[in-house]
Structure 1
Amino acid sequence: MTSPAHSVAFALALALVPQMTLAQSDPHMHGANGHDEVNMPGLRGRDATVQESAEMEVMFKNFPTLSREVENLPDGIRTVTRSSDPDVMDALVSHVVGMTARVDEGRDPEVIIQSPTLDIFFERTGAIETEIEVTEEGIVVVQTSDDPEIVAALHTHAAEVSDMAARGMVSVHERMMGPANGG
């Protein structure tokens, strides 16, 4: 499947917001920071559908089944992402295709834990040329741009997604609690 839509592979760019006050009273809260990794409220957004949040939940709960390769290009990225679990692969493909359409339309889902790296993609609709193909290798996404700031953001976002695919929510928790966010 190839898509001429302009966008960014949003795949896996999300995790949970710390829920410190709820952690003391909710048995589903885990860890020192009180992240609710059962209900995953951070995967919801102002304009995210139930299906979109469910797809992200499937990917985060099954991140050990994911593998990913990234090639930084002078004008963008080439990524190959796959899952050893067919259900996770289906969620991944649906998520990438759906988020590609959202970026093309400028419809930011405003997911609670969304990476700020994505903001520029929604602000500069049409600045990214995207090709998506599902192959035996996995879902292959090539994204390019003439805008150097978009290219830098593509490189950054690809690294964030790779870290999330490798380490799951721990990666996002660390990003969110980093020095810029008081952690």
Structure 2
Amino acid sequence: MNTKFCYDLRNFLRGVPVLNMGDECGQSSGGSTSYGSRKPFDWNALSTGFGIQTTQFISFLSSLRMRRSDLLQKRNFLKEENIDWHGSDQNPPRWEDPSCKFLAMTLKVDKPGSGLSSESSHVEGDMFIAFNAAGRSESVTLPEVPEGMTWHRLVDTALPFPGFFSNDSEPVIRQAL
């Protein structure tokens, strides 16, 4: 394999964060990705309200990755049978509808005895993840949960910051030294 392909492959692997400030902060390059049009990262942007929110959100997601190592830290990709794709009403997603701005998935833990679940994870169970790119709220029907289990909201970015984090999973706040 050539080196560039290996770098590209690494960047698209599940779990590798790729953070690139630009359109996310309203600093569009008009779709240009040429090297000469790149601007250096403005570290002062991290001290703005948006920068603080983004940093805390990334910190929260990183800690979630550690806490849910049964789903998010595997050496192998999730198997097809461990992912269920949903629309907002638990019907199949509307892949072919360009006006559809909602997609959800359930990541299912491996069944006991499969040898693939992580021993370091202290939290177990399936994870339901929903993405809503529409400019309006979407009512969502949650999947049926196995007996003895309940769904817990970990993060809801529709709520005002910092309230979109769950109470028992507070984000790590970076402190100036």
Output the TM-score relative to the length of structure 2: 0.29
Q: Which has the higher contact order (CA 8 A, sep 6+)?
A: 1
**Greater strand share, structure number:** 1
Structure-1-length-normalised TM-score:
0.29
- Bigger Rg, structure 1 or 2: 2
